[in-house]
């Protein structure tokens, strides 16, 4: 028996009315809580975004509101329509014994959900900043190397008399400065706070390339062979900063799992409605008994001060918000593959 978690009673069975922005957010949140069982969701508008989301999560979409009222299993109805008429109808027609959460009570719940979402965004940023500490070695190395070239060439130029050499070395200095500038640009784009609501069309393949460049600051890529198998047209609507963060995290983990070298494979597959990203390593693998825990907050195998234990937890959250899934296949001694599947067009809080 797992002693770290309280033994839960039977889950509370909840029906949600309203599948707009509030209903979708509520659905996403409640779906993650094992003590709550969502038995159905209804909206007068059949094209409400939460209904498609519910189908993706295999939660029943109830076309007729009466069916929800009659459902013997319903214990609590949460009305997030904000419609006073719905509130009255609920109180008039619901079976006795069923609790109703509506009006100002459901507004409070909506505020709590929003608050939770803001906290998650904070946590994501905090974890990212904590991780940047580990970039110090890589950045110093990658800046000092071009600086050595610049210094050496400049010293030589002071004495160089051959005009051809002068021109060539001046050009090399300019290139070295550009390389150094690119490092700073990468870092600032990675460290900035992402605006969670902002979505744009993201080219997943080029995002993976960006992540690969940034991950090099965090971990040594010595003796790592990189294989890229990108599908063309791997694009989707999402938050580019958050996706970059997810990929940097997965690549860093993969390389860290291959202490004595190995092969990192980045693969994308594109279908009509979804794009998948597979990050594989040939490293130490994850023992089966830990596979359920790796996405838990504060789970880490790294020594104190080396990992926050929030990497995969945050990844799961970001992927979930994009209405995607993340799975892992791992074998001790052979390596791990993390697979993320994201819908082409996604909605988020």
Partner 1 sequence: MKEFKSGFFVGEESCNGRVLVVDDEADIRKVVRMTLQKAGYEVLEAENGEKAIETINSGENRLLLDVMICDIRMPKVNGIEAIAYFRQNYPRVPLIVLTGFPDTDMATSLLRQGVVDYLVKPVEGEKLKASVARAMEQRKLAPL
Smaller CB separation from partner 1, 218 or 310 = 218
Any idea what the Cα angle at residue 133 is, between residues 277 and 220, rounded to 5°?
A: 60
| Residue from 86, 153, 251, 275 in contact with partner 1 (CB under 8 A) | 153
Comparing CB distances to partner 1, the nearer of 79 and 142 is 142
Phi, psi values for residue 208, rounded to 5° = -65, -40
Compute the least distance from the CB of residue 142 to partner 1, in Å: 7
Indicate the residue among 88 and 156 with the shorter CB distance to partner 1.
Answer: 156
**What is the footprint of partner 1 within residues 212-241 (CB under 8 A)?**
220, 222-223
Q: Which of 146, 311, 324, 335 binds partner 1 (CB under 8 A)?
A: 146
Query: HSE-up of 125 (CA within 13 Å, CB side)?
Result: 13
**Cβ closer to partner 1: 51 or 176?**
176
Query: Looking at 33, 112, 118, 137, which residue binds partner 1 (CB under 8 A)?
Result: 137
Among 256, 255, 266, 252, residue whose Cα is nearest residue 311: 252
Q: Based on CB atoms, which residue is closest to partner 1, 81 or 169?
A: 169
Place of tokens 């998650």: 120
151 lines the binding site for partner 1 (CB under 8 A): yes
Backbone angles phi, psi at 184, to 5 degrees: -65, -40
Give the integer Cα–Cα distance in Å for 242 and 257: 23
Rg (CA), the chain: 25
Tokens for 97? 């014994």
Shortest distance, position 262 Cβ to partner 1, whole Å = 13
Q: How far is the CB of 181 from partner 1 (least distance, A)?
A: 16
- Burial grade of 181 (CB within 10 A; 0-12, 13-18, 19 or more): exposed
Interface ranges with partner 1 (CB under 8 A): 137, 140-153, 155-156, 159, 172, 176, 220, 222-223
């Amino acid at each position: 028996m797992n002693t770290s978690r309280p033994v839960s009673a039977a889950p509370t069975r909840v029906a949600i009315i309203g599948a707009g922005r509030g209903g979708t957010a509520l659905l996403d949140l409640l779906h993650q809580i094992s003590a709550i069982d969502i038995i159905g969701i209804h909206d007068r508008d059949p094209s409400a975004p939460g209904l498609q989301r519910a189908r993706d999560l295999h939660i029943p979409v109830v076309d007729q509101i009466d069916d929800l009222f009659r459902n013997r299993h319903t214990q609590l109805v949460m009305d997030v329509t904000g419609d006073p008429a719905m509130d009255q109808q609920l109180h008039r027609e619901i079976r006795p014994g069923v609790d109703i959460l509506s009006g100002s009570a459901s507004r409070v719940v909506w505020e709590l959900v929003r608050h939770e979402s803001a906290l998650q965004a904070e946590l994501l940023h905090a974890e990212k900043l904590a991780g940047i500490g580990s970039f110090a070695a890589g950045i110093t190395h990658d800046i000092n190397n071009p600086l050595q070239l610049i210094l050496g060439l400049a010293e030589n130029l002071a004495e160089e008399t051959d005009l051809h050499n002068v021109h060539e070395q001046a050009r090399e200095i300019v290139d070295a400065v550009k390389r150094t500038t690119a490092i700073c640009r990468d870092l600032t784009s990675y460290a900035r706070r992402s605006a969670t609501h902002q979505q744009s069309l993201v080219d997943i393949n080029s995002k993976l390339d960006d992540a690969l460049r940034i991950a090099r600051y965090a971990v040594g890529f010595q003796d790592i062979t990189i294989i890229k198998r990108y599908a063309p047209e791997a694009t989707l609507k999402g938050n580019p900063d958050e996706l970059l963060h997810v990929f940097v995290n997965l690549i860093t983990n993969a390389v860290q799992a291959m202490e004595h070298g190995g092969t990192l494979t980045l693969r994308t597959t594109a279908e009509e409605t979804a794009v998948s990203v597979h990050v594989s390593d040939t490293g130490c693998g994850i023992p089966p008994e830990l596979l359920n825990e790796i996405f838990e907050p504060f789970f880490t195998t790294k020594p104190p001060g080396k990992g926050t234990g929030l990497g995969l937890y945050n990844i799961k959250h970001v992927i979930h918000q994009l209405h995607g899934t993340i799975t892992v296949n791992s074998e001790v001694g052979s390596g791990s593959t993390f697979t993320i599947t994201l819908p082409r067009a996604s909605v988020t809080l």
